[in-house]
Structure 1
Amino acid sequence: MKNILFVASEGVPFIKTGGLADVVGSLPRDIDRRYFDVRIVMPKYACMSKEMTEKLEYVTNFYMDFHWKREYVGIFKAQVNGIIYYFIDNEYYFNGFKPYGDDVKFEIEKFAFFSKAALSILPVVEFHPDIVHCHDWQTGLVPVYLKERFQANEFYRSMKTIMTIHNLKFQGRWDKKVVKDLTGLPDYFFTPDKLEMFGDADLLKGGIVYADAITTVSETYAEEIKTEFYGEGLNGLLKSRENDLRGIVNGIDYEEFNPSTDKYIDYKYDAINFRKEKIRNKRALQKELGLAEDDKIMMIGVVSRLTDQKGFDLISCVMDEMCQDAVQFVILGTGTEQYENMFRHFAWKYGDKVSANIYYSEALSHKIYAASDAFLMPSLFEPCGLSQLMSLRYGTLPIVRETGGLKDTVQPYNKFESTGTGFSFTNYNAHEMMQTVRTAEALYYDNKREWNKMIDRAMAVDFSWKVSANKYQEMYDWLRP
């Protein structure tokens, strides 16, 4: 039996702001419990729901040296879906209205405290991990602390660490003097080959330098981040550690995202009866959103944060042109004001063709996956991406740019071989995107038989957590202490 500890700043079902929480909460459930005991440690946020807080039981507390003083560390515990979660309690750090705040210095201090506390509780809760699996910059100091002060204690000496990068753009970078003072780490650690980054200190960089293995959330992204364009300043370091770097695509919860049982959609369907039943969801959504009620028109869904990263500058260039075609667009999400207003404008201009829903709703997102014919995701970069996996599951064909996880999970349509599960384009170019949308339109309108065969293939692919879990298990075995 091998013990694995996930250290993360969020995880379902307790707290979620993005895809990281899905990975942390879902992946351990599919790791084989006959061989691995996977547990999770995360902060005890005051903003967790009452329902979730009530599941926590108090274990004990102690005081830990941190930032030149003695800090309170409370330990709570819960068991959900057979997985043990530990929670670090400290009201000063975790009392906000949301998990993350805007004060970068305080965030660095908060997660430096969390990283040290996550290691300090282990002898107290009597759990000795063989591997400590760290997620994103918030836990970047765990491998650093483990190689520094914790090495003196035999309990910690054999532990290996993995650093998983969910999005390289966020690195936890701040003034070097301040970070040195906060962490208590000696000068030795603040050099360009360790934590220093352009004169600042960089927590994610520390994690990458000191971890025994590094993963990211798709094979293509693992290659991309070794280049200057995607590397966010860390490409040289990642290139130097490429033998320890691997990409493993995220999965999605196949029970939660299942068109045959989905509680949010009006008409359930599966790979056998989608030809009859899927269209009824389109009719229901057209009616609900006030779009033209037309079975034959092609509906394109977008569920996303409305930001530059997601390719909305491409859409804004050609949206007017695309709205001249026989298509409907259903958009759901919030983000940058210019994109929110852009979609509001087109919803006003093309009322029966464009529905702009500038908020977030879990129920509406499921309805869009089920009702749409295609799903548009033209990202500038996409470490993994989950929306395209959900759309494949619902037989909604993705139209994506070939980057990161989008390239790894969507097989482009090939009309000569009759293969593919979606449509893709290579260059970050608005007209190339529009041409790809029109290729999809042509197939949808002119060759319905071929379109339906693509849906068959899309619904047959498996991006459940089971597949990803097997690859993580291989890595855990490879890293055997």
Structure 2
Amino acid sequence: MKKVLFASSECVPFIKTGGLADVVGSLPKCFDKRYYDVRVILPKYSCMKQQWKDMMQYKTHFYMDFAGQSQYVGVLECVYDGVTFYFIDNEHYFTGDKPYTEHHWDIEKFMYFDRAVLSALPLLDFRPDVIHCHDWQTGLIPVYLHDSFAGGDFFRGIKTVMTIHNLKFQGNDGVEQFKRISGLSDYYFTIDKLRTGVDGNMLKGGLVYADAITTVSNTYAEEIKTQFYGEGLDGLMRARANDLRGIVNGIDYVDYNPDTDKNIVVRYNYDNVLEKKIHNKRAIQAELGLAQDDNRFMIGIVSRLTDQKGFDLIAYMMERMCEQGIQFVVLGTGEQKYEDMFRWFAGKYPDRVSANIYYSEEMSHRIYASADAFLMPSLFEPCGLSQLMSLRYGTLPIVRETGGLRDTVQPFNQFERTGTGFSFANYNAHEMYNTVMFAKYIFDARRDEWNGLIKSAMAQDFSWQASANKYQEMYDWLIG
């Protein structure tokens, strides 16, 4: 039996701010339980819902030296969906109304978490062969394993994997502060180890000391070796190219299933999508006060409203797209300028634009099920999950060819009649607009071809099972 421990700052269903939580919550269920025992460890935040806290059972507690003080470490446990979850409890660090707060404080609390994870392991009756660390918040686990936890039989031979979900976020803090809190010596603060400029860098520590590195798509694994996408770590990524692999994320095919989804008005599947999907479009047009018209081209957007997601391109072309009669259903929050932009267009074109400036899981499912196309013109996108969800619901993605978007959306080829969506290469507003208009032309004038694309999209398999098989191969390679 091979034992793997996922360490993460968030995990569905307990706490979620983004796609990281979906990965850590969904993947462990998919491993073959005859050969793999995969467990998860995360902080016990006070802002978790009471229903999850009520499921947790006390496991153990102890005190450890951290940042010059003796700090309490409680460990709780629960089994959910056949997977064992551990929670590190410390009210000093994990109290608050959300999991991430102020930058310096976040650095300190996740340094505490990384040391607490390793300190707790000998008391858990679970010695992992591999600790799989997710994003910068767990970056010091591989470092500590090489440092203060290097002695003794228990930790000897434990391998580590570092997964980059988004290289933009690295966990930087000034070197003196970093040194004082982490307890690491001067040895680690050279440019070939944890230092970047004047800062210590948690993610860089993980990337230097982990035995293997993964990121969430093949294209992103290549992109981060370049200066544009490398966020200052491209040299390190090139140096570790032999240990780096891209494994595309999946989505939960039980949660995201148009045939059983309780959030949508009319359920449908691959066989009856062409007759039944339209009922969801009619329902959302009625609900949101949009023009009631089956033949209006409707684009869905479910996203954080930020520059990274390409909203400057959309803002530049929004007026022209509205003038073409395209309907937009937007869901999400983010930068004020984009929230205001969508509200303004919803006021000007109430029959065409619905700006839902909040987040709702239920509403997101309804948009995936009702829109004709789904727009994601990202500047960079390590993997992206929304395009996988839209494929699952037969809503055709219109994406920029970057990261996971390039790996998961096959552009329409009108000569061979192949593809699962539409894409454009350059980060350019006119190129995006032309691609949207080409998709609209296929929808308007060549409906048979459009319907063929819907069927192709729904036939794709981006379930977690496919990803889990690739992670299993990597663990086998690491453990030997």
Partners of 1:431 and 1:18 lie apart in 2 by 30
- Partner of 2:359: helix, strand, or coil? coil
Q: Which residue of 1 aligns with 2:93?
A: 93
Identify the range of structure 1 (163-172 vs 357-366) with the bigger mean alpha-carbon deviation. 357-366
Quote how far apart the aligned CAs of 1:298 are: 1.0
Q: Which whole-Å CA distance do the structure 2 matches of 1:3 and 1:362 have between them?
A: 33
Name the amino acid aligned to 2:337.
Answer: Q
CA-to-partner distance for each residue in 1:304-338, whole Å, 9 max, x for gaps? 00000000000111111111113211111100000
Q: What is the SS of the residue equivalent to 2:55? A: coil
Counterpart of 2:115 in structure 1 is 116
- Give the AA of the match of 2:54: E
> What residue is the counterpart of 2:458 in the other structure?
459
Report the equivalent of 2:169.
170
Which residue of structure 2 aligns with residue 287 of structure 1? 286
Find the residue that maps to 1:341 and give its secondary structure.
Answer: helix
Match status 1:26 vs 2:30: no
**1:415 corresponds to:** 414
- Indicate the residue corresponding to 1:12 in structure 2: 12
Instruction: Quote the residue 2:449 is aligned against.
Output: 450
Report the residue type matching 1:415 in the other structure: Q
1:349 equivalent in structure 2 = 348
Deviation at residue 203 of structure 1 after TM alignment? 0.4
| TM-fit CA distance, 1:341 | 0.5
* Aligned residue runs from structure 1 range 279-428, under 5 A: 279-428=278-427
Structure 1: distance between partners of 2:394 and 2:366: 13
Q: How does 1:254-293 map to 2 (within 5 A)?
A: 254-293=253-292
The one-character-per-residue Cα deviations of 1:333-388 (angstroms, maximum 9, x if unpaired) are 10000000000111111110111111111111111100000000000000000000
Deviations 1:85-130, CA, capped at 9 Å, x for gaps? 111111000011111102x221111000100000111110111100
Structure 1: how far apart are the matches of 2:42 and 2:363?
30
- Secondary structure of 1:342 counterpart: helix
How far 1:152 moved relative to its partner?
A: 1.0
Give how far 1:69 is off. 1.7
Gaps of 5+ in 2: none
* Paired position in structure 2 for 1:75: 75
| Cα displacement string for residues 273-301 of structure 1 (whole angstroms, at most 9, x for unaligned residues) | 11111001000000000000011111110
Q: Secondary structure at the match of 1:330?
A: strand
Residue 206 of structure 1 aligns to a residue in which SS? Answer: helix
The C-alpha deviation readout for 1:384-407, integer Å capped at 9, x for no partner, is 000000000000000000000000
1:177-210, CA deviations, whole angstroms, 9 ceiling, x for partnerless residues? 0110101111100100000001210000000000
Structure-2 separation of matches of 1:346 and 1:69: 54
The superposition leaves residues 209-242 of structure 1 with CA deviations (integer Å, 9 ceiling, x where unpaired) of: 0000000000000000000000000000000000
Match for 2:344: what amino acid? H
Q: Which residue of structure 2 lines up, in the alignment, with residue 223 of structure 1?
A: 222
2:154 is paired with a residue whose SS is helix
1:46 aligns with 2:46: yes
Match of 2:349, as an amino acid? Y
The separation in 1 between residues aligned to 2:478 and 2:445, in whole angstroms, is: 52
| TM-score where L is the length of structure 2 | 0.99
What is the Cα deviation at residue 434 of structure 1? 0.3
- Matched length: 480
Secondary structure, aligned partner of 1:150? coil
Amino acid in the other structure paired with 1:84: T
Mapping for residues 426-437 of structure 1, pairs under 5 Å: 426-437=425-436
**Percent pairwise identity:** 64
Instruction: Provide the rounded CA distance (Å) in 1 between the counterparts of 2:44 and 2:281.
Output: 41
- Counterpart of 1:130 in structure 2 is 129
User: How far apart in 2 are the matches of 1:184 and 1:362?
Assistant: 41
Letter in 2 for 1:239: R
The residue correspondences of 1:199-210 to structure 2 (distance < 5 A) are 199-210=198-209
- In 2, Cα distance between the equivalents of 1:345 and 1:67? 49
| Secondary structure in structure 1 of the residue aligned to 2:315 | helix
| Counterpart residue identity of residue 42, structure 1 | L
Instruction: Tell me what 1:188 maps to.
Output: 187
More divergent stretch after superposition (127-136 vs 322-331): 322-331
- 2: CA distance between counterparts of 1:317 and 1:366? 27
SS of structure 2 residue aligned to 1:466? helix
How far residue 70 of structure 1 moved from its aligned partner, in angstroms, is: 1.1
What is the distance in 1 between the residues matched to 2:67 and 2:376?
Answer: 44
Q: Distance in 2 between matches of 1:75 and 1:449?
A: 57
Q: Supply the distance in 2 between the matched residues of 1:250 and 1:149 (Cα, whole angstroms).
A: 33
**Aligned equivalents of 1:86 and 1:467: distance in 2?**
26
Secondary structure at the aligned position of 1:121 is classed as: helix
Following superposition, the deviation at residue 59 of structure 1 comes to 1.1
Match of 1:66 in 2: 66
1:479 counterpart SS class: helix
Q: Distance in 1 between matches of 2:436 and 2:340?
A: 23
What secondary structure sits across from 2:257 in the alignment?
A: coil
SS of 1:262's equivalent? Answer: coil
Structure-1 separation of matches of 2:395 and 2:111: 42
Question: Structure 2: which amino acid aligns with 1:24?
Answer: V
RMSD, aligned α-carbons: 0.6
Instruction: Report SS of the residue matched to 1:154.
Output: coil
CA separation in 2, counterparts of 1:4 and 1:63? 25
Amino acid across the alignment from 1:229: F
SS at match of 1:406: helix
Q: TM-score, normalised by structure 1?
A: 0.99
Q: Distance in 2 between matches of 1:262 and 1:106?
A: 40
Misfit runs of 4+, over 6 Å:
none
For 1:70 and 1:165, the matched residues in 2 are separated by: 31
- Paired amino acid for 2:328: F
For residues 82 and 282 of structure 2, the distance between their equivalents in structure 1, rounded to whole angstroms, comes to 41
Q: Find the aligned partners of 1:149 and 1:364 in 2 and give their Cα distance.
A: 48
